[in-house]
Amino acid sequence: MDDEHKQELPAPPRFRYKGFKFMTLALFFVVIFVILGFSGIKATSSSQFCSSCHEMKPEYYTWKASSHNEVDCVSCHIEPGVKNLAEDKAKGVVELYKNLSNTYTAPIQMPKDIPNDACEKCHNMKTRQVTPSGDLIIPHDKHLAKDIKCTACHSGVAHGKISERNVTFKSDYTKWDDALGKSMMSDVKFTSPKMETCMECHQARNVSTACKTCHKNSMVPSSHKQANFKTQDHGKLAERDIKKCNSCHQYMSEDAITGIQDIPASQQFLNTGTVNQKSSISAQDYAKENTFCKKCHTTKPQSHVKGFVNLHGAITKQQGTKTCLACHDTQKTGFNKTTNITCSSCHPAMHEGKNYKEHHPINLTGVTAPNASCYTCHNKPKCTSCHKE
């Protein structure tokens, strides 16, 4: 061919290159299975093989820390049968291509719930009556008869709902190891059935929500049966372990209680990369948040008789302020949302540690105590309650 008929061929389209790469990988995958046969299928069906893709590390390490760590991934995620196995291996080729081309979607979402028959490989729903706690009444056969899926209650048993907790993004994969997997699975509210789920389902289906419906024993702790529990002991117990109180009383409040739980492990992880920060509400603030507690705490105590305002100072000095703080706030200005009365409504804030002299309109150099000129603006009874003449 002479020079004038020579033409430079255009570069092949980019998609053709990707298609060639994909076909090569697919062919390689098929050859591996032909060579290895059953042993290849077995090897690629192991949970360890799943962890070889870095986007699966969160799922792998949480599964490893779960109560189901002796059950391989394929036991739950692939339905029985040669056809289903073949379809999964075909999908595996696609996932391998997405992995190598970095085109997979994160966080990974389950395309569908785990079917009940996957659970029934190990668990007999017709005879399973109670959970390990011993106190709960869980008739699994009745739930099964109403076509309630196992995952409606147990969706976090293997992975702790990590996708919902937003800790499985691409930027997080390098952080995952055994320790992080254990910490994520240590928070039972993400791994165990929640009482809210039971209550909501029962209410929607007009099933009784009385304690005796789901609990064998009386729900009233022995400490609550003491004669002086309401008047003396319950506040001390609340200060000792308010989270224990909340485990039952949170369901009695019309409003959600904020600040009572530890910072979730997922939130700590996203904020700092660690899971050791803790935060908890005080017993006094809890009584102001929980509407169940307010029913008593907004009732005027018997001690608050006529003239109590003049008596309360001596009582406070003798007994301390803890009892008062169960209803009242100290330094908060404005109205208390529980009683509409705060200590600062009558008692001015202390001057100690504040640079009030620098901004005072009158020069206070050398002044160490209030004098007659101070009472030109300030209320003498309030000042002299602390500053004795």
Q: Are residues 109 and 209 in the same domain?
A: yes
Q: Is 65 within a domain?
A: yes
Q: Do residues 287 and 327 lie in contact, with contact meaning Cβ atoms separated by under 8 Å? A: yes
Count of the separate structural domains present in the chain: 2
pTM: 0.52
In angstroms, the CA 86 to CA 172 distance is 32
172: CATH: 1.10.3820
Cα separation, 144 vs 139, whole angstroms: 9
Q: How far apart are the first and last CA of the chain?
A: 118
- pLDDT for 162-190, tens place per residue? 888 888 877 678 888 999 999 999 888 88
**252 Cβ neighbours under 8 A, 6+ residues apart:** 290, 291, 292
Q: How many helices (H) and strands (E) does the chain have?
A: 22, 0
pLDDT the model gives residue 196:
82
What's the confidence (pLDDT) of residue 333? 42
Q: Which position has the higher pLDDT, 333 or 328? A: 328
Is residue 218 predicted with pLDDT exceeding 50?
yes
Residue, of 137 and 48, whose pLDDT is higher: 137
Residue 71 placed within a domain: yes
What is the model's pLDDT at position 321?
Answer: 76
> Is 172 a domain residue?
yes
Integer-rounded Cα Rg, in Å, for the chain is: 33
- Are residues 306 and 186 located together in one domain of the fold? no
| 322 in a structural domain | yes
Q: How confident is the model at residue 61 (pLDDT cuts 50, 70, 90)?
A: very high
Q: What percent of the chain has pLDDT over 70?
A: 67
Residue 199 covered by a domain: yes
Name which of 110, 89, 1, 76 is nearest 38 in CA terms: 89
Q: Are residues 209 and 316 in the same domain?
A: no
Give rounded-to-5 percent helix, strand, coil for the chain.
Answer: 50, 0, 45
| Claim to verify: residue 307 and residue 178 sit in the same structural domain | no
Domain that holds residue 68: 45-214
Write 291-300 long-range contacts (CB < 8 A, 24+).
Answer: 291/252, 291/253, 291/254, 291/255, 292/249, 292/252, 292/253, 293/249, 293/253, 294/338, 296/230, 297/326, 297/327, 297/338, 297/339, 298/327, 298/338, 298/339
Is pLDDT above 90 for 111?
A: no
195 plus 317 within the same structural domain: no
Is residue 210 situated within a structural domain? yes
Single out the residue of 137, 152, 163, 131 nearest to residue 67, CA to CA. 131
Same domain, 190 and 312: no
How many whole angstroms separate alpha carbon 198 and alpha carbon 220? 20
Q: Mean pLDDT, to the nearest integer, of 99-125?
A: 76
In a domain, 50, yes or no: yes
Question: Are 210 and 305 part of one and the same domain?
Answer: no
* 200 in the same domain as 336: no
Q: Does the pLDDT value for residue 118 go beyond 90? A: no
Torsion of CA 233, 238, 241, 243, to 10 degrees: 140
Q: Name the least confident of 173-187, 313-327, 341-355.
A: 341-355
**Is residue 15 one of the residues assigned to a domain?**
no
Domain check: are 84 and 187 in the same one?
A: yes
Contacts of 92 (CB under 8 A, 6+ apart): 29, 44
Q: Is a pLDDT exceeding 70 seen at residue 227? A: yes
